[in-house]
Amino acid sequence: MTKRPHLRGALAAAVIALVALTGCQAVPDAGPVQPGLTELSQGDRQVRFNPNGPAVDADAQEIVRGFINAASSNADNYAVAREFLTPSYSEQWDPSAGVLVDEGTRPYREEEGNVSVLSLSTIADVDEHGVMTSAAPSPTIDVRFELEEQDGQWRISSAPTGVILERTTFEQTWTRQELFFLNQRGALVPDSRWFLNRPSLASEIVEELLEGPMAPYRDTLHTAFPGGTRLANGSVPIIEGTAEIALSTELAEASEATLEDVSRQLTATLDGVSGVTDYDLSAGNLNIGSRDVEAPEIDQEPQATIVERNGGFGVLSGGDVDPLNTLDEPVVDLDAEAVSVAPTLQGAAVLSERGVSWVDDTGVALIDARAGQIAPVIDEFGYVWTYASRGTDGLVVRIPGEDGVSVDTPWGAGRTPVAIGLSPSGSRIAALVADEENSVLLVAPVTRDDDGRPTGLGDTAVQELWTSGAPVDFDWIDEQQFAVLSRVGEGGKVTFGGPGQLITETGSVPGGVHISSGGARTQVRVLDENGDLYALQGQAWQRQERERGIDVLAKVG
């Protein structure tokens, strides 16, 4: 299987060990941008860099920076980058081991023994399966390069393996693709991966579908391809928009149901590959058939902004509150601190001094009286999730009217969520916690039975987003995006991100205390401590003059 750059494990530990980043692609500091292939559909969006080799009599710093720049081009197995290395080390250096994404500011210094050091401000790393891991906010980390003279010229004899890319260059040369796997109920769930944008893109994507979901999700997601299935020819050629997928004989013996699930995975996943319009699938001598690629249907539309204001609870429309008839008066009477409305808008879980109450057309019922609770969550199956920081039960899940079941959480000792939330499909849960002076969003898979009843969480919570400041609130926007609110000084800093994505910081809302997504980035609203709502307009958060005097900003789900 073709490997891509990989940097697994803690970045800081890797740097301390002086072996991190082996094989990382470097960020180009110079060199013209060249257009990609024009006759191969997969190359339509490629950006290629044409770096220079080492200059005659270049000093150590020029060699080190030139090497990092040259590693931005993978042409001829990184031939230009290898010119900066000693002949013996050129054979050892592995540029396919991992990619580290940094901010591009790289102070340089020299140490004794012909050692050069670059200090990097890291953002994320990507492993050999395209899985991105967000880096914690931290001081710079150091990477070392050992040099020696060869025929009077400096050359690198030891360096971090892998490639180092500045964020802009990374986004120009790599592409984020959604791979689709199946959950326990057979629904397609996206999994973000990153791939070097090159003609072999479709081949690498299919190989990852065969490999299966990333490790933390293997108990909750699976690939439909039978074990041992591989690409028969080692690649997926694209001919006039058709991906020719020839697989080994394992798939030829699969059931009709399995073949249908395989086709669903391919149809949804290959829709994200530029220039691919359909595919032909075969296994051994069996021609399974052809299908057009298309994105899976997503049953999610932008939601209404739901608030409590001036003694009314309902949808905010044109500055007025249109009451949700079955919920209006009961929610107001509870003197709510936080409200989560069911996706159907027919029920709500309300946090107040009493605890969490369930409200629907049958009335009001207290369902969780524990102290120290945070805002509850409702999933698409109607289960209410409540979390209390006091006591031993922690996270409890229930259908209103039934006893709750305590669920073990993978947040780790000493990490108490200030907010929890479920992705729209209910396949993942996230918790926003503090980490010293920063905030981190932890995401874990949710296991369910065939009826959608939650049976537990995965053993591992993935750190999907880091941002500076104390944690305040967050909300899922859709299956692959969330918006996080953290406290920096007097402001509520808003950061957008998602599983396997680079973060985007969008400024602050003075005194921001709550955030609600509305199911689309354009619908995200932030409530400040004075009861004013803010919306993102352009690059700044603007107060909405007709959306003031808000008592509670509700969430859907």
For residue 557, name the pLDDT band (cuts at 50, 70, 90): confident
Mean pLDDT of 504-523: 93
Q: Does pLDDT of 358 surpass 70?
A: yes
Give the pLDDT band of residue 283 (cuts 50, 70, 90): very high
Report yes or no: 159 and 93 within 8 Å, Cβ to Cβ.
yes
Query: Is pLDDT above 80 for 409?
Result: yes
**Whole-number Cα distances in Å, 66 to 28, 62, 82:** 8, 6, 11
> pLDDT-derived band of residue 300, with 50, 70 and 90 as boundaries?
low
Mean pLDDT of 146-162: 95
**Position with higher pLDDT, 97 vs 543:** 543
Task: Indicate if the pLDDT at residue 29 is higher than 90.
Answer: no
Domains and CATH numbers, the chain: 11-172 (3.10.450), 175-292 (no CATH), 306-556 (2.120.10.30)
pLDDT of residue 46 exceeding 80, the answer is no
Distance CA 275, CA 272 (A): 9
Residue 277 is predicted with a pLDDT of 96
Bridge partners (DSSP) of residue 48 are 34
Q: What is the pLDDT of residues 16-27, one digit of tens each?
A: 332 333 333 333
Residue 384 has pLDDT above 70, yes or no: yes
Band of pLDDT at residue 298, cut at 50, 70 and 90: low
Spatial separation of the C-alpha atoms in residues 408 and 397, rounded to whole Å: 11
As a three-state string, the secondary structure of 329-357 is: HHHHHCCCCEEEECCCCCCEEEEECCEEE
User: In 251-385, which residue ranges form alpha helices assigned H by DSSP?
Assistant: 256-269, 328-333
Interatomic CA distance for residues 394 and 137, integer angstroms = 28
Name every residue whose Cβ is closer than 8 Å to that of residue 112 and which is 6 or more positions away in sequence. Answer: none
Helix, strand or coil, per DSSP, at residue 201: helix
Q: Is the pLDDT of residue 11 over 50?
A: no
DSSP state, 302? P
Q: Per-residue confidence at 302, pLDDT binned at 50, 70, 90?
A: low
The stretch 405-414 carries a mean pLDDT of 90
pLDDT score of 31 more than 50: no
* CB-neighbour burial class of residue 239 (10 A; exposed 0-12, middle 13-18, buried 19+): exposed
219 pLDDT tier (thresholds 50, 70, 90): confident
For the whole model, what pTM was predicted?
Answer: 0.85
Decide if pLDDT at 32 tops 70. Answer: no
Q: pLDDT higher for 15 or 527?
A: 527
Query: In three state form, how does the secondary structure of 18-84 look?
Result: CCCCCEECCCCCCCCEEECCCCCHHHCCCEEECCCCCCCCCCHHHHHHHHHHHCCCCCCCCHHHHCC
At 299, is the pLDDT very low, low, confident or very high (cuts 50, 70, 90)?
low
**pLDDT score at 12:** 35
Q: Which whole number is the average pLDDT over 297-309?
A: 78
Q: What is the largest CA-CA distance in the chain?
A: 87
- Over the stretch 58-97, which tens digit does the pLDDT of each residue have? 999 999 999 998 988 988 999 999 999 999 999 999 888 8
Look at residue 539 and tell me whether its pLDDT is greater than 90.
no
Which percentage of the chain shows pLDDT scores above 70?
Answer: 90
pLDDT at 301: 63
pLDDT surpasses 60 at 30:
no
Torsion sign (Cα): 540, 546, 547, 551:
positive
Say if CB 385 and CB 402 are below 8 A apart. no
Strand positions, DSSP E, 286-404: 286-292, 306-309, 312-317, 320-323, 338-341, 348-352, 355-360, 363-368, 377-378, 384-387, 395-398
Confidence of residue 34 (pLDDT cuts 50, 70, 90): very low
